[in-house]
Chains A and B, each alone.
Chain A
Amino acid sequence: MLHEFSYVSPSSMDELLTFLEESGERSTVFSGGTDLFVTIRSGLSRPDFVVDLKGVKELGLLTFDPAEGLSIGACVTVNQLIEDTDVLRHYSVLRDAGSELATFQLRNRATVVGNVVTASPCGDMSSPLLCLGARVKLASAGGEREMPLGEFITGVKRTQIAPNEIVRAITVPIDHLDAVGGYKKLKRIKGHDLGVVAVAMITANDVSRFAISSAAPTPVLLPDFPANVEVAEVQKAAQEAISPISDVRCTKEYRSFMVDVFIRRLMEAA
């Protein structure tokens, strides 16, 4: 059972942003609801208004332009992303990570932007997006702003977003177009599970990049390496950058160990 709230479904950006401006902290926006309705159900969130973003058509757009790159609108689902031929061709690491997220049914609803805004340390989309140099486009009644994804996520489930603000889209530049790489995620079971630890890697234009999830309060992006870097050097940098904890899902030692294993496997496969 969910507590009593009002459902609001604006049909234009103006209507949406005006409503958020007026209702402030009493509103929570959502798209897929796969995170929000779980937190509402468990009593962790009690908004008076739940505001559906899906009625605003422009938020549903997924576009690719060879000069501009990829733009992932707020309501683009994970399945839409991973089935997109441009994503597959030019940003395959997003497909690799997206297909590890939850289950098929959930991916039909769960959005890429919702995953990033949730800012869970074990979220699957942030580390590949960090590798690709993604940027976050925010909008409120007061105007728009934009920032690198690395600055947007500030802590466990914390971001720079203001109560009257939404993420319109996440954009991915063309700097690492057609990068090779992959995403390795450790789970407790073979089926769907939140990540125990995960590593994303891309290599393009003689540069290799790695980002690690579930091993620190936020996803960790390592400094760039030349593409011919030794495995041990990346592993050393990774161990210095992460600060894993022990929890119900595994110990910090196992997390550290698997980060090294995944780095090696990704580099051997590339």
Chain B
Amino acid sequence: MREITLTINGESYTREVHEHRTLLHFLRDDLGLTGTKEGCGAGECGACTIIMNGAAVNSCLVLAAEANGSVLETIEGAAKDGTLSALQSAFHEHHAVQCGFCTPGMVMSATDLLRRNPNPSRDEIIDGIEGNFCRCTGYEQIIEAILAASKEGKSHA
């Protein structure tokens, strides 16, 4: 076991963790932040995508111990005071959510994409979410939602 301290969605946490624990399992099982999903557990599906120190990563392939001192953003931090972010609202309006399993990872990837590139083209959006699988929507509504959110140009933080 080792002690780690990290910031998640602006809040500081200090916990003892097993050294072989993945960051994904730490978030879900130790902290109860179950918004971040586990699909494959092996880097393929993107359901576990979070933003770590400003970069989108697959949290299933990161150790909790490695994240000591990090600043994390997860889906739980997207809505502020019960109000959806512009991107979340766009997902809602464009029917980009069906079963919803891919949505947290998809929103985190799209958040990161819009920070790097506030006005992405359709192709840039497709590239930007290449690491996130969706088994329901056929992606079209998701692409529309991200395009719409980028046009609004609101804060995606």
Which residues of B sit under 8 angstroms from A158, Cβ to Cβ? none
Tell me the interface secondary structure of chain B in the complex. mixed
A7 touches B62 (CB 8 A): no
B65 within 8 A of A: yes
A108 touches B57 (CB 8 A): yes
> A7-B66, A34-B43, A109-B62 given as contacts; is B20 within 8 A of A104 (CB)?
no
B49 CB to nearest A CB, Å: 6
A19 CB to nearest B CB, Å: 15
Taken residue by residue from 105 to 133, chain B's Cβ proximity to chain A (1 for < 8 Å, 0 otherwise) reads as: 00001000000000000000001101100
Which residues of A sit under 8 angstroms from B57, Cβ to Cβ? 105, 108-109
B56 within 8 A of A: yes
Which residues of A sit under 8 angstroms from B55, Cβ to Cβ? 79, 108
A258 CB to nearest B CB, Å: 22
Which residue on B lies nearest to A33, using beta carbons? B61
Q: How large is the interface on A (under 10, 10 to 19, 20 to 34, 35 or more residues)?
A: 20 to 34
Which residues of B sit under 8 angstroms from A1, Cβ to Cβ? 25
Across chains A and B, the number of contacting residue pairs, with CB separation under 8 Å, is 73
Which residues of B sit under 8 angstroms from A3, Cβ to Cβ? 20
Chain B residues bordering chain A, tally (CB within 8 A): 27
Which residue on B lies nearest to A6, using beta carbons? B19
Q: How far, in whole Å, are A167 and B145 apart by their CA atoms in the complex?
A: 44
Q: How far, in whole Å, are A104 and B51 apart by their CA atoms in the complex?
A: 12
Which residues of B sit under 8 angstroms from A54, Cβ to Cβ? 66
Near B by CB (< 8 A), chain A positions 203-233 give none
B41 within 8 A of A: yes
Give the contacting residue for B2; candidates A7, A38, A102, A109; CB below 8 A.
A7
Which residues of B sit under 8 angstroms from A4, Cβ to Cβ? 18-20
B36 within 8 A of A: no
Taken residue by residue from 96 to 114, chain A's Cβ proximity to chain B (1 for < 8 Å, 0 otherwise) reads as: 0000001111101100000
B131 touches A105 (CB 8 A): yes
The contact sample of 18 A-B pairs, CB cut-off 8 A, is A2-B20, A4-B18, A4-B20, A7-B2, A7-B20, A7-B66, A33-B62, A33-B63, A37-B61, A79-B55, A104-B127, A105-B109, A105-B131, A109-B57, A109-B58, A109-B61, A109-B62, A192-B131
